[in-house]
Amino acid sequence: MKTIPFILALLCCMAAQAQQYDESKVPAYTLPDPLLTLKGRKVADVLDWNHVRRHEILRLFEDNIYGQMPQDFDSIRFVTLREEPRAMDGKARLKETRITVYRMGKSVAIHLVLFVPNNISRPAPVFLLINNRGKNITDPDRKEKSPFWPAEMVIDSGYAIAAFHVSDLAPDNKDTYMNGVLQLYPEQLEADNGMKAIGAWAWGAARVRDYFKEERLVNPWKVAVVGHSRGGKAALWAAAQDQRFALCISNCSGNSGAALARRQFGERISRINSTFPHWFNNNYKKYNDQENELPVDQHMLIALIAPRPVYATNATKDLWADPTGTFLSLKNAEKVYGLYNLKSALPATPPAPDTAIEASILGYHNRTGEHDMTIFDWQHFIRFADIHFKIDR
């Protein structure tokens, strides 16, 4: 007798799922204009953007989605834990560093794994991964090698590669996320616009950038911050907040990452807030099923990174992350890049799967396959960085 309600529930669930992925069900929507100030004035130029509108938008994202980004701490220390000058059969130097940040008698420690190519004489440009998967993915001993962080391939391309694990900053769990950076900033836990896990991960990326400034092996002005999925949301937020990141790569970041919320396609705000209540601030919960009430949409997060290059990706079987919504987010950020006279080479409509748009300040591809970060993706990240960091081989 219990089977009938069960079948009904299953049918309802399947219908809801189909609707989630039905382009014809995307409602009509109007995106907030990144170039219209809160007072309704049109942004005139780059100065106006930087002095007025950029701050407004940053504040709107802090208050309504990601939370504040506290900048004050008492001190920061970098301790080399291990150094192997001839790692990876001699082609790279391995350096493991503990970055400890202190505030009001508390501290948080970030463990950084860094490989730097041995065959270049200048400080190396570097890819920094915000690692949201297993720590084994960035195995410093290289016994395990993962396409998610293909360190050998990146080293062969003349780049350094680094990674830290999100759990050092905020465990990815609704009951324990506060056992990291938030111990330094307990007041954030009280505030409706307080920092939560995604903000904490982005904060960690900024502390790694502090370390790169002191590390002569890497070029601190050529740091590409990279993240996949939830890590990709954090990478965008890190680059939006911290203008020292020279380039941002957001892989399959989807809802509350690179994809437009107002399309209501795939994952929605209500869903992300109920499954991951510890990712975004309390205010964000007000927008459950109310996407149109948000004073921002995700194209404005990309716009905050202007004039720096952004590369966003999707995978064809990952409709949950809304490939079209990601592409449209980039397209709608173009006008802010235009203030800097930077014209993107993105086509008017999404490119065919596996067609990478790299020679463009805003880059994109939609890889054939599943939600993941693969060698194909990294090949294009490297190409995109080569173009923007002007690296000739």
Q: Which parts of this chain interact with ligand GCU (CB under 6 A)?
A: 229-230, 254-255, 267, 272, 320
Q: Min. distance of Cβ 321 from ligand GCU in angstroms?
A: 6
Burial class (CB in 10 A: 0-12, 13-18, 19+), 353: middle
* C-beta closer to ligand GCU: residue 297 or 334: 297
**DSSP bridge partners of 344:** none
* C-beta closer to ligand GCU: residue 219 or 251: 251
Report which of 63, 358, 98, 291 is spatially closest to residue 207, judged by C-alpha positions. Answer: 98
Strands 106-117 and 160-165: antiparallel
* C-beta closer to ligand GCU: residue 125 or 254: 254
Give residue 98's Cα distance to chain centre.
23
* C-beta closer to ligand GCU: residue 93 or 196: 196
* C-beta closer to ligand GCU: residue 226 or 272: 272
Q: Could you give the 3-state DSSP secondary structure of residue 238? A: helix
Q: Min. distance of Cβ 120 from ligand GCU in angstroms?
A: 33
Catalytic hit among 167, 229, 250, 253: 229
* C-beta closer to ligand GCU: residue 230 or 331: 230
For the chain, where are the E strands, in sequence order? 75-87, 92-103, 106-117, 124-131, 160-165, 218-228, 247-251, 310-315, 362-367
DSSP class of residue 284 equals G
* C-beta closer to ligand GCU: residue 69 or 315: 315
Q: CA-to-CA distance for 200 and 178, rounded, in angstroms?
A: 9
Q: Min. distance of Cβ 301 from ligand GCU in angstroms?
A: 15
Q: Min. distance of Cβ 258 from ligand GCU in angstroms?
A: 10
Q: Min. distance of Cβ 323 from ligand GCU in angstroms?
A: 13
Q: Min. distance of Cβ 56 from ligand GCU in angstroms?
A: 26
Report which of 174, 161, 181 is spatially closest to residue 222, judged by C-alpha positions. Answer: 161
Q: Min. distance of Cβ 198 from ligand GCU in angstroms?
A: 10
**Spatial CB neighbours of 69, under 8 Å, sequence gap ≥ 6:** 62, 195, 199, 202, 203, 206, 241
Let me know if 360 is a catalytic residue: no
Phi, psi of 337 (to 5 degrees): -65, -30
Let me know if 250 is a catalytic residue: no
Report which of 167, 185, 176 is spatially closest to residue 234, judged by C-alpha positions. Answer: 167
Residue 34: asked if its preceding bond is cis (omega within 30°), the reply is no
Residue 155 near residue 378, CB atoms below 8 Å: no
Return the residue nearest ligand GCU (CB atom).
229
Helix axes 197-214, 230-241, angle to 10 degrees: 60
Active site residues: 229, 371
